[in-house]
Structure formats: structure tokens, C-alpha cells
Amino acid sequence: MERTYVSDLKPGKEVLLKGWIYDYRVLSKMAFIVLRDSSGFVQCITKEPKITKQVSSLTMESVIEVIGKVKSANVREENARKDIEVEIESLVALSKAEQLPIQVNEKAVKAELPARLDNRSLDVRKPNVSAIFKIQSTIINSFREFFYHKQFIEIQPPGIIATSTEGGTDLFKVDYFGKPVYLAQSPQLYKQLMAISLEKVFSTNTIWRAEKHDTTKHINEIRQMDIECAFHDDMAVMKYAEEVIKYIAKKVIENNKRELEILGIDLKIPEAKYLTYSEAVALVSKNGIKMKVGDDFEPEAERKLCSLFPNHIVFTYEWPSSIKPFYIWSKNPKKDISAGFDILFNGIEISSGGQRVHIPEMLIQQLKSKKLNPENFKWYVDAFRYGAPMHAGWSIGLERLTQTMLKLPNIREATLFPRDRNRLTP
């Protein structure tokens, strides 16, 4: 008999189910099992003494196989389907679970986050945790879908690099056949080199940042969603960001109704608000946050700005060149105004980007102004000598977007196996 999934069960059918025991009860003359598979939960019942005895010997999270008949029913179990139940005809234990280090069915005690992360393969069996990653799957696939439809080309930048891509020192150094190299902190330089040749590119790749943060919105290994476009300026690519975030929200609303319900999230397609950096500084200063032109936005200022525009993607653009990377185009050098921008959503920065420098001499000048050695970037600078159009782009962190979209308290909730200062396993 072919296996049937819980979501496909219909009354009157004899079915073969395979899944995990989420809950069970054994009474004097009958037994109940709540079986979970990847599509949902269903209550299975038996009045057969032999099968009841089998159930009494099982454990939570044991893997079982059930053959039975689907019947219409009024089921009260919290997570199970309410319209049907399965009358068990035979039951086979495929893998009996030992004592669990954390509970999946958290009726009594809920595990703390560190214990949950230590036992992530169990943790993701919980409906509220699996819901996060089902939504995250929609997020990244919607991102790809959107840019495929816009005729972008997906590229795969390297994860090992010879020098910093952003001019910082927060790099993980590794041994590469006796040579010192680094884990890529960004695909920045590589996606630029592809954009000036292939015109419109995107990537979804892993990057590493050796920053000694210990916050609820930072991890050290990150999945990034990047784009880069030739013949585009900062305003044009900000529009792409607005459109793709709205598209992602729309797809999550359409495809993940059940998951949003489990998480208690009333997701709505956001609007967009565009502010110059100076306007944003003035706004937060007017609303109780001490800040002056030239300052970076601290978390408190980001939250304040977003609170002024609920359910908006907030774009702040024309940032000072002095606090943006060397590759960001300068719109007005005399006034220290760049073509760089940041994107905020639900109180958190989810992206930064801008128009890039495509003139070699200007690149060299800006590298020097940031106290970087142009010789270390020769391969990158020289690429712009052979016909390089203006171009612009941005990067959104997958985990950060998941966190802010679902209003999760900690980015580790949106990361399957987080890598931070203290965590390398599992």
C-alpha cells in the first residue's frame, strides 16, 4: 500500500501512515495516538486489546507505521485534524525513541533556547518551530522567484577569499594549503564584477563575519540574499528591494496561512517610506533620541524610526560617505553625501546597499581614504578598466528578515544551527 500523508486523508479510505508519536493515551479498553508527519497531525484510535498493549509499550517521538481506516469525527486534540480520525487496524514500531533530552510536546515544561539549540533536530519537530522554517523556505524561494522573473542571473560567489571584501578586519582566517586566506564576509566585490559583465545578477549564499557581537540580532554565519544591477543607481535598486519584500510577504501570506496562525502573526504586506539620512536623523532627534548628522543609527534609533511608520519598510538614503564602505559612490564629495542606503523593517536593519564606484581612479582614491592598500585590491580595481557601467545593489540577511517578519525575539530562533561566539555544535 502506498503511504498517505495526514494532509491528504479523506473519510472512508484505508490508509498507510508513517510518522512520529506526538502524544498518546492508554485507557483500560482503548488507546489514542496523535501521529505527526511533515504535513500535519491526526488522531489514531484503537479498541483492540493487542494493539492497545502495543501502544502502552511505546514512547513519545517513536516512529511508527499505522494501517487503518479514516472516519469522520469531531476531534478535540489541540494540534490534530478536527474533522477525521484513523481507526488503527495494525501498528508497527519502526524506531522506538529513548528518553528525550527536551520535550517536543511541551504541555508542562518548556525548554530554554540553549537546550533547544543543543537538540535542534528534536526542537524543529515542534509545530511553532517547524512553522518558522517552513516560512523561511517560502522567503528564500520567493526571493529567487521574483528575480528569475525579472531576468536576473543567479551566480555562486566564492566562500574563500584572499583579502577583505569590505575593508574591515572582522574576518575568519584559515589555512589554505599553507597560505593564509579568509572566509568571505560578503560576495560584494564578486557580484559587482559579474554585474558589469552579466548586467543583472543575484545570489543566495553563506557569509561569515568575525564580529564579537553577543546580541539577539547577530550571528557569525549568515545566509545572504544579494542583488547587483548594471545601469542602475541607488534609487532604482531600492525600488527592487521594496518590491521583493512586498512580494515575499504576499507569498508567505498565501502559502503559510497555517504557520502564521500557529505563530500568532497577522502578517500584512508593508508599505514603503523613503527618507534621506538627514531627514531620518532630524525625525528621531525630534522624537527623543539624541543623534546628530554623522552618527550611525543605534538600535534604539532604528526602533524609534520604525515606530513612527508602522508596517512600513523604511529606507534611509544619501548617507555620509565617511561612514559607508569604500566601494559606495559619492554623490556629493564636498557635502560628504554618498549613494549608500539602509533598509529597516519592524525596528531592525535588514539591509544595506547603494550605487557602487565604477571608475578605477576614484576607487583607488577611496581605498586610500579608508586607509586600505589599493595593491591588495588590484584584481578588483583593474576589472573596471575594461568597460564598466554604473551599477548598484544590496544585501538582505535571510535570518534577519525571518526574525523581523515573524517578530522573533532572537535571530537564533530563525537559524537552524546558529554559529556565534559561543556555539559551534551541533
Residue range 276-326, pLDDT digits in tens: 999 999 999 999 999 999 999 999 999 999 999 999 999 999 999 999 999
pLDDT digits (tens, 9 = 90+) for 361-383: 999 999 999 999 999 899 999 99
Same domain, 66 and 151: no
Element (H, E) at 18: strand 14-26
Q: In what order do the strands lie in the sheet with 179-183?
A: 160-161, 179-183, 173-176
Q: Which has the closest alpha carbon to 346: 295, 276, 401?
A: 401
Question: What percent of the chain clears pLDDT 70, i.e. is strictly above it?
Answer: 98
3-class state of residue 345 by DSSP: strand
Domain boundaries, position 225: 127-414
Task: Specify whether the CB–CB gap between 302 and 400 falls below 8 A.
Answer: no
Same domain, 91 and 131: no
Whether residue 162 is predicted with pLDDT greater than 90 in this model: the reply is: no
Q: Quick one: pLDDT at residue 167?
A: 59
Q: Which cell goes with 104?
A: 517536543
pLDDT digits (tens, 9 = 90+) for 183-210: 999 999 999 999 999 999 999 999 999 9
pLDDT digits (tens, 9 = 90+) for 228-273: 999 999 999 999 999 999 999 999 999 999 999 999 999 999 999 9
Same domain, 62 and 208: no
Task: Provide the number of structural domains found in the chain.
Answer: 2
Q: DSSP states of 211-264 as a string? A: ----STT--SEEEEEEEEEET--HHHHHHHHHHHHHHHHHHHHHH-HHHHHHHT
Residue 425 backbone phi and psi in degrees, to 5: -130, 160
Q: Quick one: pLDDT at residue 213?
A: 86
User: Is residue 151 situated within a structural domain?
Assistant: yes
Q: Quick one: pLDDT at residue 106?
A: 87
User: Is residue 105 situated within a structural domain?
Assistant: no
Q: Which cell goes with 98?
A: 529513548
Residue 348 backbone phi and psi in degrees, to 5: -130, 140
Please report which confidence band the pLDDT of residue 169 belongs to, taking 50, 70 and 90 as the band edges. low
User: Is residue 200 situated within a structural domain?
Assistant: yes
Task: Name the residue type at position 116.
Answer: R
Domain boundary among 55, 71, 95: 95
* Interatomic CA distance for residues 204 and 206, integer angstroms: 7
Task: Specify whether the CB–CB gap between 311 and 305 falls below 8 A.
Answer: no
Same domain, 91 and 146: no
For residue 12, give the CATH number of its domain. Answer: 2.40.50.140
Please report which confidence band the pLDDT of residue 109 belongs to, taking 50, 70 and 90 as the band edges. confident
**Per-chain mean pLDDT for the chain:** 96
164 or 7, which is more confident?
7
Same domain, 47 and 133: no
pLDDT digits (tens, 9 = 90+) for 20-44: 999 999 998 999 999 999 999 999 9
For residue 362, give the CATH number of its domain. Answer: 3.30.930.10
User: Is residue 156 situated within a structural domain?
Assistant: yes
3-class state of residue 207 by DSSP: strand
pLDDT digits (tens, 9 = 90+) for 331-362: 999 999 999 999 999 999 999 999 999 999 99
Same domain, 266 and 336: yes
Whether residue 220 is predicted with pLDDT greater than 80 in this model: the reply is: yes
Same domain, 178 and 234: yes
Same domain, 89 and 131: no
Task: Output b/e per residue, 263-286; b: 16+ Cβ within 10 A.
Answer: bebebeebebbbbebeebbebbbe
Give how far Cα 180 sits from Cα of 162, 176, 189, Å: 8, 6, 19
How confident is the model over 48-72, as a mean pLDDT? 97
Task: Specify whether the CB–CB gap between 314 and 306 falls below 8 A.
Answer: yes
Same domain, 155 and 219: yes
User: Is residue 109 situated within a structural domain?
Assistant: no
Same domain, 71 and 200: no
CA 250 to chain centre: 16
* Interatomic CA distance for residues 146 and 197, integer angstroms: 21
Q: Quick one: pLDDT at residue 78?
A: 85
Strand 63-72 relative to strand 84-95, pairing: antiparallel
Please report which confidence band the pLDDT of residue 91 belongs to, taking 50, 70 and 90 as the band edges. very high
Q: Quick one: pLDDT at residue 107?
A: 78
* Interatomic CA distance for residues 156 and 241, integer angstroms: 20
Please report which confidence band the pLDDT of residue 48 belongs to, taking 50, 70 and 90 as the band edges. very high
CA 156 to chain centre: 18
Same domain, 197 and 311: yes
User: Is residue 112 situated within a structural domain?
Assistant: no
User: Is residue 198 situated within a structural domain?
Assistant: yes
Q: Quick one: pLDDT at residue 323?
A: 94
User: Is residue 171 situated within a structural domain?
Assistant: yes
Same domain, 65 and 146: no
Task: Specify whether the CB–CB gap between 314 and 273 falls below 8 A.
Answer: yes
User: Burial level of 176, CB count in 10 A (0-12/13-18/19+)?
Assistant: exposed
